[in-house]
């Protein structure tokens, strides 16, 4: 029997946003906008899931993090989270200014694209896997050493 952790519902929602992004196969501006928004939502929710598993309240996440992916990642790392995918930080750095201001449309319209959809998907998949591992083990340490084989 698996033990549920605080914030698990956020991680499930994050996985749902990621699945939606994975289904977008066209590379037009509209598809890119939807894909990038789904990825940003998945990142936000997975990091907030980690924070809640470490005692943050939903209200604290709303007030202190809002939609700032950089703040969320910094807060999670401050609590010992270590993402395994090296391109997560650059992805978050590119997404955050657009996502915080509800301007993903502008990021999607940028030519050439500032983000590789495949790398963004991979980084988000790894993030969700790291959060799931950290929360299920209670270690807070993400990364390959804390994953189940």
Q: Does residue 146 fall inside a structural domain?
A: no
Domain housing 95: 8-138
The tokens for 58 are 């939903």
Confidence of residue 2 (pLDDT cuts 50, 70, 90): low
Q: Does residue 34 fall inside a structural domain?
A: yes
pLDDT of 138 reads 64
Tens digit of each residue's pLDDT (9 = 90 or more) over 33-49: 999 999 999 999 999 99
Q: At what angle do helices 29-53 and 69-78 cross, to 10 degrees?
A: 30
- C-alpha distance across the termini of the chain, in Å: 19
Q: Does residue 22 fall inside a structural domain?
A: yes
Q: Does residue 148 fall inside a structural domain?
A: no
Q: CATH number of the domain that 22 lies in?
A: 1.20.120
Per-residue pLDDT averaged across 99-127, rounded? 93
Q: Does residue 100 fall inside a structural domain?
A: yes
Q: Does residue 1 fall inside a structural domain?
A: no
Where is average pLDDT lowest: 50-64, 82-96, 131-145?
Answer: 131-145
DSSP alpha helices (H): ranges in 23-116?
29-53, 58-60, 69-78, 88-100, 104-109
85 Cβ neighbours under 8 A, 6+ residues apart = 122, 123, 126, 127, 130
pLDDT at 110 over 70: yes
pLDDT of 88 reads 97
Q: Does residue 145 fall inside a structural domain?
A: no
Report how many domains make up the chain.
Answer: 1
């Amino acid at each position: 029997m698996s033990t549920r952790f605080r914030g698990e519902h956020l991680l499930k929602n994050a996985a749902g946003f990621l699945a939606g992004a994975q289904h977008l196969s066209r590379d037009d501006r509209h598809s890119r906008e939807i894909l990038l928004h789904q990825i940003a939502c998945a990142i936000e929710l997975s990091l907030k899931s980690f924070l809640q598993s470490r005692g943050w309240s939903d209200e604290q996440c709303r007030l202190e993090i809002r939609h700032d992916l950089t703040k969320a990642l910094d807060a999670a790392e401050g609590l010992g989270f270590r993402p395994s995918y090296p391109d997560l930080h650059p992805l978050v750095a590119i997404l955050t200014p657009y996502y915080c201001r509800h301007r993903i449309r502008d990021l999607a319209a940028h030519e050439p694209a500032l983000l590789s959809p495949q790398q963004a998907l991979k980084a988000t998949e790894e993030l969700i896997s790291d959060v799931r591992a950290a929360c299920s083990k209670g270690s807070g340490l993400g990364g390959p050493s804390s994953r189940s084989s």
